[in-house]
A and B are shown apart, each in its own frame.
Chain A
Amino acid sequence: MEKCIRLEDVKRIYQMEAGDVYALNGVTLDIGVGDFVAIMGASGSGKTTLLNQIGCLDQPTSGNLFIEGKNTRELPDSEMTDLRRDAIGFIFQKFNLIPLLTAFENVEYPLILKTGARDSTGRPAELLRLVGLDGGHIHHTPNQLSGGQQQRVAIARALANDPRILLCDEPTGNLDSKTGQQIMDILTDLNGQGKTIVMVTHSDEIASFADRIITIRDGVIQ
Chain B
Amino acid sequence: MTFELAKRNVRLHLFRSILAAIGIIIGVVAITSMGMLGGALEQSVSDELMNMGNSIIITPAGPSTGEQKAGIEEKDIRQIKLITGRHPTIAFYNTYDQIKVGDNRRYVSMYGVDPAELPSITTLVSGRYVSGTEGVMIGQSLARQYNLKEGNFITIGIGSREQRLRVVGILENTGFSGGIQTDNAVIGSERWYESKYGGRGKYDQVVITVEDLDEIDRIKDQIEARLNRREDVVNIMDFRAMISSIQDAIGQISLFVIAIGGISLLVAAVSILNVMLISVNERIKEIGILRSIGTQKGDISKMFLYEATILGLIGSICGGVMSLIGGGLLILLIMQDIKYLMTLNTVFTIIYGMCIGIAICIAAGVYPAHRAAQMNPIDALSND
Contacts of B5 in A (CB 8 A): 98, 100-101
Q: Is B133 an interface residue (CB 8 A)?
A: no
**Contact status of A81 and B291, CB under 8 A, knowing A99-B286, A100-B8:** yes
Q: Report A49-106 residues with CB < 8 Å from chain B CB.
A: 52, 55, 57-58, 77-78, 81-82, 84-86, 90, 92, 96-101, 105
Q: Is B296 an interface residue (CB 8 A)?
A: yes
User: Are A85 and B294 in contact (CB-based, < 8 A)?
Assistant: yes
User: Are A57 and B8 in contact (CB-based, < 8 A)?
Assistant: no
User: Are A58 and B1 in contact (CB-based, < 8 A)?
Assistant: no
User: Are A57 and B290 in contact (CB-based, < 8 A)?
Assistant: no
Q: Is A6 an interface residue (CB 8 A)?
A: no
User: Are B293 and A90 in contact (CB-based, < 8 A)?
Assistant: yes
From DSSP, what is the main secondary structure of chain B's interface residues? helix
**Contact status of A81 and B286, CB under 8 A, knowing A57-B377, A96-B381, A101-B5:** no
Stretch binding the partner chain, chosen from A109-117, A173-181, A190-198, A199-207: A109-117
* Interchain nearest-CB distance for B16 vs A (Å): 15
From DSSP, what is the main secondary structure of chain A's interface residues? helix
Task: Give the distance in Å from the alpha carbon of A77 to the alpha carbon of B301 in the complex.
Answer: 15
* Interchain nearest-CB distance for A97 vs B (Å): 8
Contacts of B8 in A (CB 8 A): 100-101
Q: Is B321 an interface residue (CB 8 A)?
A: no
Contacts of A99 in B (CB 8 A): 286
- Pick from B297, B299, B378 the residue with the most CB of A within 10 Å: B378
**Contact status of A81 and B294, CB under 8 A, knowing A98-B5, A98-B286, A100-B9:** yes
Q: Is B241 an interface residue (CB 8 A)?
A: no
- Pick from B8, B9, B288, B297 the residue with the most CB of A within 10 Å: B8
Q: Is A47 an interface residue (CB 8 A)?
A: no
User: Are A58 and B9 in contact (CB-based, < 8 A)?
Assistant: no
Instruction: Identify the closest chain A residue to B285 (Cβ).
Output: A96
Contacts of B292 in A (CB 8 A): 55, 57, 84, 90, 96
Q: Is B154 an interface residue (CB 8 A)?
A: no
Q: Is A157 an interface residue (CB 8 A)?
A: yes
Contacts of B286 in A (CB 8 A): 98-100
User: Are A58 and B378 in contact (CB-based, < 8 A)?
Assistant: yes
User: Are A100 and B378 in contact (CB-based, < 8 A)?
Assistant: no
**Contact status of A86 and B381, CB under 8 A, knowing A100-B5, A100-B8, A112-B1:** no
Instruction: Identify the closest chain B residue to A117 (Cβ).
Output: B1
Task: Give the distance in Å from the alpha carbon of A187 to the alpha carbon of B286 in the complex.
Answer: 25
Convert B153-177 into 0s and 1s, putting 1 for each residue whose CB lies closer than 8 angstroms to a CB of A. 0000000000000000000000000
* Interchain nearest-CB distance for B350 vs A (Å): 34
Contacts of A52 in B (CB 8 A): 378
Task: Give the distance in Å from the alpha carbon of A183 to the alpha carbon of B295 in the complex.
Answer: 26
Instruction: Identify the closest chain A residue to B9 (Cβ).
Output: A100
Q: Is B334 an interface residue (CB 8 A)?
A: no
Task: Give the distance in Å from the alpha carbon of A96 to the alpha carbon of B381 in the complex.
Answer: 8
* Interchain nearest-CB distance for B327 vs A (Å): 38
Task: Give the distance in Å from the alpha carbon of A96 to the alpha carbon of B9 in the complex.
Answer: 17
Contacts of B294 in A (CB 8 A): 81-82, 84-86, 110, 113-114, 161
Q: Is B12 an interface residue (CB 8 A)?
A: yes
Contact with A57, one of B1, B9, B12, B378 (Cβ below 8 angstroms): B378
Instruction: Identify the closest chain B residue to A86 (Cβ).
Output: B294
Contact with A78, one of B1, B288, B293, B296 (Cβ below 8 angstroms): B296
Contacts of A113 in B (CB 8 A): 1, 293-295, 299
User: Are A110 and B293 in contact (CB-based, < 8 A)?
Assistant: yes
Convert A7-47 into 0s and 1s, putting 1 for each residue whose CB lies closer than 8 angstroms to a CB of B. 00000000000000000000000000000000000000000
User: Are B289 and A98 in contact (CB-based, < 8 A)?
Assistant: yes
Task: Give the distance in Å from the alpha carbon of A114 to the alpha carbon of B291 in the complex.
Answer: 13
Task: Give the distance in Å from the alpha carbon of A98 to the alpha carbon of B303 in the complex.
Answer: 14
User: Are A100 and B12 in contact (CB-based, < 8 A)?
Assistant: yes
Contacts of A84 in B (CB 8 A): 291-294
Task: Give the distance in Å from the alpha carbon of A115 to the alpha carbon of B33 in the complex.
Answer: 46
B residues near A (Cβ < 8 Å) are: 1, 5, 8-9, 12, 285-286, 288-297, 299, 377-378, 381
> Would you list 21 pairs from A and B whose C-beta atoms are within 8 A, ordered by A residue?
A52-B378, A78-B297, A81-B296, A84-B291, A84-B292, A84-B294, A85-B293, A85-B294, A85-B295, A96-B289, A96-B292, A98-B5, A99-B286, A100-B9, A100-B12, A101-B5, A109-B1, A109-B293, A113-B293, A113-B294, A161-B294
A residues near B (Cβ < 8 Å) are: 52, 55, 57-58, 77-78, 81-82, 84-86, 90, 92, 96-101, 105, 108-110, 112-114, 118, 157, 161
Known contacts A55-B292, A85-B294, A98-B5, then 11 further A-B pairs from the complex at CB < 8 Å, ordered by chain A residue = A58-B378, A81-B295, A84-B293, A85-B293, A92-B381, A96-B288, A96-B292, A109-B1, A113-B1, A113-B293, A113-B299
